[in-house]
Amino acid sequence: MSEQSIYGEEHIKEEGKQYNTLNLGPTHPATHGVFQNVLQLDGEIIMGSEPTIGYIHRAFEKLAEHRPFYQVTPITDRLNYCSAPINNMGWHMTVEKLLGVEMPKKVDYMRVIVMELSRIADHIICNSVLGVDAGALTGFTYVFQWRERIYDIFEQMCGARLTTNIGRIGGFERDFSPKVIGMIRDFLKEFPAKFDEFEGLLLRNRIFMDRIIGVGPISAERALSYSFTGPNLRAAGVDYDVRVMNPYSSYEDFDFIIPVGTQGDTYDRFCVRQEEIRESLKIIAQALDNMPEGKHMADCPEFYLPAKQDVYTSMEALIWHFKIVMGEVELPSGEVYHAVEGGNGEVGYYLISDGGRTPYRLHFRRPCFIYYQAYPEMITGQMLSDAILTLSSLNVIAGELDA
Amino acid sequence: MAISKEQVQDKLSAAFGDNILAYSEPYGMLKVEYKATEHYKIVRLLKEDETFRFRFLTDLCAVHYPDEAGRELAIVTHLHSLENNFRLRLECRISDKSAEIESLTGLFAGANWMERETFDFFGIRFTGHPDLRRILNVDHMDFHPLLKQYPLEDSSREDKDDRFFGR
């Protein structure tokens, strides 16, 4: 067995030589989630790795086959819980595609704002925790309160913070209140300066750069073969972004760029996420400035759960509420695939409906699950401590990994 | 450079003839149904063709249709040609008695876990897969839970009293 390490030496297993076996995880504090890797170590160099996953498998695909469409939304929250609203929106759009319901422009723009805010929250966590794992705790304390600010905005929009269950099939449950708009405006005004401070701590920091450049690299070709998507693919130099390639929710209206890296290593993944946060800020500002007039939901009473006060006061709303909840609405049968650009890449929903109350089959394309299989290849030949950094920079979220 | 649905259809029909069963276009995505024996060959052709370049495996999963005797299990593959921005859905059916199909791991490294997941939940054996083990469920599980005959909850459980859940 011979492995080329990034340090240029070739490691050959000598006759009779034994490797140390090390269990990294499943509850190791440095792995930020339930990941187990059984590592084969030659000194401190990783010679092989065997990941075990499924520790928090919650049978989402089976559960989804037993739930009405609107009750699937809370399941999607619990996939990538760092950017739950993106998953919610993706699911709503999938069902709307199946139903053939057109959204008003205003809903699209509101969705874009929510999705980009959660992308920022997602990338903030990933990049600041990468700093923590490299020994730089300060940056984490700088930006983590800004993630709280984003969660405050979500709380103001829908009442929940982490697993939001935000929006509905057919739009939003309510319009953004002036307070929400004000909070987003304040965020856009105050965050960039703090974010620059955070970036100043790490981006050109010699110690940080020496620590993470060249760690956990993957070539564009291998990344594509492993079906990488999102920032991890873009760090390897492939400019694939669902928002641009297959625009949904009026993303074609916005002016933004796709940052790409060249080396596909931890430093490039860090830089790509940093730039994506700036692009997200640009998109949110454009969406707020150009917010169209109109309603916050589509005109589809047969699918959109009516407002609670209407259910109590108007007969028609009560009937629709009853029909939707009891599953007496005619649903089309068919199969539809819809993809959105999640925090970690292409989040896809493959939905088959047989016209029944619940999906006949629902498959989640979970980017974490798909790219985590490249992890052994990425860390073989590297130091043990590099494996931790690679894992944080890949931003593998256990909830999405294990479904 | 863009490719059209007709080009893909012509190419596949010319190469595989009667082994292609149907073309359809549900919700704007071209769907090709074919005989399961051609699974690997079709994907390889689409991947290696210089015009189409379907080099990105978006997703691979299975669907169980217990009522359709002899073709109960569908294997659904989503391919994406990034250069042409063209998405394609491939579907083939196999019987759940001899649930076997060729593995795509030789073409896409990413197919490894997707096929392990499909094996785990549907019991489909991918021939030529280097490491076909369960992935999300426990190793000693003796059934494949996403098959439709298995209920959502384990009926042999004694720790839950349905009276408390209003069922």
Contacts of B152 in chain A (CB under 8 A): 59, 62-63, 65-66
Calpha distance A223→A120 (Å, rounded):
24
Q: Note whether A38 and A50 are within 8 A (CB).
A: yes
The number of domains in chain A is 2
Ordered by start, the domain boundaries in chain B are 5-154
Does B85 sit within 8 Å of A246, measured CB to CB?
A: yes
Are residue A143 and residue A17 in the same domain, yes or no?
no
Residue A351 Cα, gap to closest chain B Cα (Å) = 11
pLDDT of res. A2: 46
Are residue A117 and residue A34 in the same domain, yes or no?
no
Calpha distance A161→A121 (Å, rounded):
11
Which of B146, B6, B95 is closest to A403 using CA atoms? B146
CATH number of the domain that A317 lies in? 1.10.645.10
pLDDT of res. A14: 64
Calpha distance A302→A378 (Å, rounded):
49
pLDDT of res. A20: 86
Calpha distance A237→A358 (Å, rounded):
40
Burial A283-318 (b: 16+ CB within 10 A, else e): bbbbbbeebeeeebbbebbebbbbeeeebeeeeebe
In a domain, A63, yes or no: no
At A144, list the tokens: 């983590």
Are residue A47 and residue A144 in the same domain, yes or no?
no
Residues linked to residue B125 through DSSP beta bridges, in sequence order: B100
Are residue A394 and residue A272 in the same domain, yes or no?
yes
In a domain, A145, yes or no: yes
Are residue A319 and residue A195 in the same domain, yes or no?
yes
Residues linked to residue B20 through DSSP beta bridges, in sequence order: B34
CA-nearest residue to B65 within chain A is: A360
Chain A / chain B CB contacts < 8 angstroms: 93
User: For an interface test with B, which of A98, A335, A372 has the most B Cβ atoms less than 10 Å from its Cβ?
Assistant: A335
Indicate the residue type of A143. V
In percent, the amount of chain A with pLDDT more than 70 equals 96
pLDDT of res. A10: 52
A327 pLDDT tier (thresholds 50, 70, 90) = confident
CA distances for B153 relative to A58, A59, A66, B118, B157, angstroms? 12, 10, 11, 20, 8
A28 pLDDT tier (thresholds 50, 70, 90) = confident
* Closest CB from A54, A225, A245 relative to B136: A54
Are residue A33 and residue A145 in the same domain, yes or no?
no
Q: Note whether B30 and B84 are within 8 A (CB).
A: no
| CATH fold for domain B5-154 | Beta Polymerase; domain 2 (3.30.460)
Print the domain residue range for A381.
68-402
CA angle B93, B98, B101 (to 5 degrees): 55
Q: Note whether A297 and A171 are within 8 A (CB).
A: yes
CA-nearest residue to B66 within chain A is: A360
CA torsion angle A105 A111 A113 A115 (round to 10) = -150
Contacts of B64 in chain A (CB under 8 A): 361
Quick count: other Cβ atoms within 10 Å of Cβ B68?
12
Residue A293 Cα, gap to closest chain B Cα (Å) = 29
Are residue A42 and residue A148 in the same domain, yes or no?
no
Mean pLDDT in chain A?
A: 88
Contacts of A65 in chain B (CB under 8 A): 152
Contacts of B105 in chain A (CB under 8 A): none
Does the pLDDT value for residue A9 go beyond 80?
no
Rounded to the nearest angstrom, the gap between the alpha carbon of residue B35 and the centroid of all alpha carbons in its chain is 13
B124 pLDDT tier (thresholds 50, 70, 90) = very high
Are residue A132 and residue A175 in the same domain, yes or no?
yes
A1 pLDDT tier (thresholds 50, 70, 90) = very low
Contacts of B134 in chain A (CB under 8 A): 54
Are residue A20 and residue A144 in the same domain, yes or no?
no
pLDDT of res. A330: 82
CB within 8 A of A125, min separation 6: which ones?
A82, A144, A147, A395
Calpha distance A201→A93 (Å, rounded):
39
In a domain, A335, yes or no: yes
Does the pLDDT value for residue B167 go beyond 60?
no
In a domain, A60, yes or no: no
Contacts of A355 in chain B (CB under 8 A): none
* Closest CB from B63, B78, B121 relative to A337: B78
**Residue A46 zone, left/alpha/beta (φ > 0; ψ -120 to 50; rest):** beta
Does A336 sit within 8 Å of B63, measured CB to CB?
A: no
Which of A4, A3, A2, A6 is closest to A264 using CA atoms? A6
What number of CA atoms fall less than 13 Å from residue B5's CA on the CB side? 12
H helices then E strands: how many in chain A?
17, 8
CA distances for A100 relative to A92, A96, A349, B21, angstroms? 12, 6, 16, 27
pLDDT of res. A124: 92
Does the pLDDT value for residue B166 go beyond 90?
no
At A254, list the tokens: 């916005």
pLDDT digit string, tens, across residues A184-217: 999 999 999 999 999 998 889 899 999 999 898 9
Q: Measured on CA atoms in the order A284, A285, A290, A296, is the torsion positive or negative?
A: positive
